[in-house]
Structure 1
Amino acid sequence: MVCRRHKARPAEQQMAPLPAIRLSTPLRAFARVSVDYGGPFETVQGRGKQRRKRYVCLFTCLLSRAVHLEMAYALDANSFLNAFSRMVNRRGRPFEVISDNGGNFVSADRQLREDVYNDKVKKTMASQRIKWTFNPPLAPHFGGVHEIMIKAAKKALRRILGDAQVTDEELVTALSGAEALLNSRPLTYQSANPSDPGPLTPNHFLHGRSEGQLVPAAQNDDGRSVQRRWRHVQMLVEHFWRRWLREWVPTLNQRKKWLNVRRDLAVGDVVLLIDPATPRGQWRLARIIEVYPGPDGHVRVVKLQAGNQQYKRPISRVCPLEC
């Protein structure tokens, strides 16, 4: 049994299909978003050189992959709700939001603080008719759609700021520059044929062109010209979404790992609960008491009973022993 504990490997399952939320209507930017935090970044306060920690709250559109960056002054629920309100005022109210499970909190009463944080956020969003979904705890691969953008945003901020000591105002300016840089990245491949259109970027869905500027204004004040210009802009938006459906969407449904179908974990299976903070030989034994099948019928999230405590974990955080 000691050898089996040391040789046990984490459970695996075939990569899930593309979630329906990534293709849901209406087709507009920031109708469905994913949220994550990055940082901290230290800013200088006043002449006394007092320092404060600031965080980056990233909102990424699940359809157009556009990015909106807000500065958060803390990691509590009130600070996040203020950042969320600023995003809604500029980008419009989303219908659905996905985020992690309060992994920003690291303390002895982490589980209690997560529950309070999640309950407050859900209650606030329910009053605004926004559907909020939390990913399972300790499952960063469930939120790859925002984790990759947080990585890109941090890289852009490091290039912009370097080792400079900045104030809150300068950090907000740097965030706007990083946002413009991320929204000008290409989504589709650049064709070698010079007559082909350029690659799609998130700015095409936000501003109508890749440079991040608005489409040119009408040349005169004739009412008919303004109406024709409005129709032209609408045709451009429809054209970009048709290209998005034809060129971008087919590239999303490719499995690059976790290709094989494995046996699904079931209720009653004995597993090891992976804890990176303890040695492998001291991982706790647990029993599966509930499973959560996905849309394709495969189990990727389970509920465990370890002693008197219960945990909800992805299967990548458990090692099956006896099935």
Structure 2
Amino acid sequence: MKAPKQSFISNVTTEDRLDPERFSDWLRLLRVTAWVKRFTDNCRKTNDRNKSRVLTLKELQEVENMFIHKTQVKHYPEEYSCIVKGQPMPRSSKLIPLNVKIDEQDLMRCDTRLTHARFLPYNVRYPIILPRKSPVTRLLVKSFHEAGNHYGTNQTLAAMSSRYWLIGGREEIRDWEKKCSKCKKLKAKVLKQVMAPLPPIRLKKSMRAFANSSVDFAGPFLTKQGRGKVRQKRYLCLFTCLSSRAVHLKIAFGLDTDSFLNAFYRMSSRRGFPEEMYSDNGTNFVGAYNELLELYEQMDKQKITEKANNHRIKWHFNPPLAPHFGGVHESMVKSAKRAIYAVLNSADITDEELLTAITGAEGLINSRPISYQTSHPKDDTVLTPNHFIHGQIGGQFTPEAVDSTVFNVKKRWRYVQEIVKHFWHRWLREFIPTLSNRKKWHQETRDLKVNDVVLVIDADKSRGEWSLGRIVALHPGN
């Protein structure tokens, strides 16, 4: 036998179109409900129908009291029944300390100790009780939160306390603040991850400084060109050795590719061509790399010897908008600026004076200790970047060779090599262990995933104008 077919009417479920769960705005819920209530009241009347196009305050208050009353009865049925019957509330009830009373609108109010404070409004002395985790409470919290321009928890709670008594008010407000899209933008934090291990290039030992280098720009510095002439901008081009942390400072007369190439060639002529270079993803660096490639290709086709080919440079560009990739030269830029500004002291200078100040700052930075200085007199002199550049400590040169009477080029060369080798052994023993600790970014957090919505930082706009972005692809690295 086949089961009888159910009628269509039996499958239809009655749905409350005015359920607060269906609304996202408290005032909209009140206005829609008030219009529906007026319509139903007018349908029951034959005369004296309300045909006004504006809702009155009385109508809105009646609808608001109706929703609050339904919420209180739904969440506290036993307490409400006991109060109506004049019986004591259950001992486990959270409303016992509030001394609950029911007013003329059948609303549960808190009978506070401010009863005799006649100068206070009635709602302050007898606030309406709102249960936690109810749709009505959520809409009210959202309304006060947005009316207060997304202020903090205390401001929203203080504004609501003038009319309502929230059970677990702070937790309820914080729950909404976690869902508020604007608050997420205002309180969003920069994504961080555990600090990565040092790249192999930072731990590579070489027999000379600046074999593996990094470059960055700083400035501008205004210099005078003469009486009655316009002042020109000059920039600091900083090269730093990734191993010894030595610096080489040059003046760049512009931010174009040619100016950078000239500064790069001047550095290479004195310190030697580096094997690998790291830089930010600036247009001047990108252009320099392209020109270097064209230069090398052209030289290969002509008369480049095998020895000249060994001077080719492998260039690495840091990702855009990622300054933490260039922390090794950003910290040196900060130190160089401090040293230069300490010498210049906002003076009106010429190009020659700026060059002198930059050279003095270079010597000062390269004389700084990079290892721990002990107080024992028999310990070695503290290690500085100058040891790797030309074997001196800010003016104290390397001791002369033992064979000072009879000059021997071969012995002298081996002696210098032993000194350099000694410095690199000290570098491995004294300086490298100081890089082991992570000074920040200690906690591991969730990595970004595809389709994550993020807030894109824009340095040229205020935080409220930052645009939203969606992750479409990931490029993980070490």
Q: What TM-score results when the alignment is normalised by the length of structure 2?
A: 0.56
Is residue 2:477 matched to residue 1:294? Answer: yes
Counterpart of 2:255 in structure 1 is: 75
How much does 1:118 deviate?
4.5
Is residue 2:402 matched to residue 1:222? Answer: no
How much does 1:50 deviate?
3.2
How much does 1:158 deviate?
1.5
Between the aligned partners of 2:397 and 2:272, the Cα distance in structure 1 is 18
Q: Out of 387, 396, 404, which is 1:204 matched to?
A: 387
Counterpart of 1:235 in structure 2 is: 418
The 5-angstrom pairing of residues 92-107 of structure 1 reads 92-102=272-282
Counterpart of 2:460 in structure 1 is: 277
Give yes or no for contact 1:125–1:132 (8 Å, CA) kept in 2: no
How much does 1:217 deviate?
4.9
Between the aligned partners of 2:349 and 2:182, the Cα distance in structure 1 is 53
Map Cα deviations across residues 53-105 of structure 1 (whole Å, 9 max, x no partner): 11110000000111101000011111001100100000000111111222xxx
Q: Whose radius of gyration is greater, 1 or 2?
A: 2
% same residue = 57
CA separation of 1:149 and 1:220: change in aligned 2, threshold 3 A:
same
Q: What TM-score results when the alignment is normalised by the length of structure 1?
A: 0.81
Give yes or no for contact 2:391–2:420 (8 Å, CA) kept in 1: yes
Give yes or no for contact 1:187–1:248 (8 Å, CA) kept in 2: yes
The 5-angstrom pairing of residues 242-281 of structure 1 reads 242-281=425-464
Deviates more, 1:77-86 or 1:161-170: 161-170
Q: Which runs of 5+ in 2 are unaligned?
A: 1-180, 297-310
Between the aligned partners of 2:398 and 2:183, the Cα distance in structure 1 is 66
Higher relative contact order (CA 8 A, sep 6+): 1
Counterpart of 2:220 in structure 1 is: 40
Give yes or no for contact 2:279–2:285 (8 Å, CA) kept in 1: no
Q: Which runs of 5+ in 1 are unaligned?
A: 103-113, 296-323
CA separation of 1:138 and 1:239: change in aligned 2, threshold 3 A:
same
How much does 1:267 deviate?
1.8
SS at match of 2:315: strand
What is the aligned residue count? 281
Give yes or no for contact 1:30–1:62 (8 Å, CA) kept in 2: yes
Give yes or no for contact 1:100–1:134 (8 Å, CA) kept in 2: yes
Counterpart of 1:121 in structure 2 is: 288
Between the aligned partners of 2:226 and 2:187, the Cα distance in structure 1 is 56
Counterpart of 1:177 in structure 2 is: 360
Amino acid at match of 1:16: A
Map Cα deviations across residues 251-278 of structure 1 (whole Å, 9 max, x no partner): 1121011111111112221212122433
Between the aligned partners of 2:465 and 2:232, the Cα distance in structure 1 is 38
SS at match of 2:263: helix
Between Structure 1 and Structure 2, which shows a larger proportion of helix residues?
2
SS at match of 1:155: helix
Amino acid at match of 2:437: Q
How much does 1:213 deviate?
5.6
Between Structure 1 and Structure 2, which shows a larger proportion of strand residues?
1
Amino acid at match of 1:275: D
Give yes or no for contact 2:213–2:274 (8 Å, CA) kept in 1: yes
Amino acid at match of 2:406: D
Q: Out of 192, 197, 200, which is 1:20 matched to?
A: 200
SS at match of 1:205: helix
Root-mean-square deviation (CA, aligned residues, Å) is 2.0
SS at match of 2:231: strand
Map Cα deviations across residues 1-55 of structure 1 (whole Å, 9 max, x no partner): 3333333322111111111110124342000111111111111112335311111
The 5-angstrom pairing of residues 84-163 of structure 1 reads 84-102=264-282, 114=283, 117-126=284-293, 127=296, 129-163=312-346
SS at match of 1:122: helix
Is residue 2:236 matched to residue 1:52? Answer: no
SS at match of 1:291: coil
Give yes or no for contact 2:221–2:235 (8 Å, CA) kept in 1: yes
Between the aligned partners of 2:420 and 2:205, the Cα distance in structure 1 is 15
SS at match of 1:79: helix
SS at match of 1:292: coil
Between the aligned partners of 1:256 and 1:193, the Cα distance in structure 2 is 28
SS at match of 2:474: strand
CA separation of 1:286 and 1:49: change in aligned 2, threshold 3 A:
same
Give yes or no for contact 2:218–2:333 (8 Å, CA) kept in 1: yes
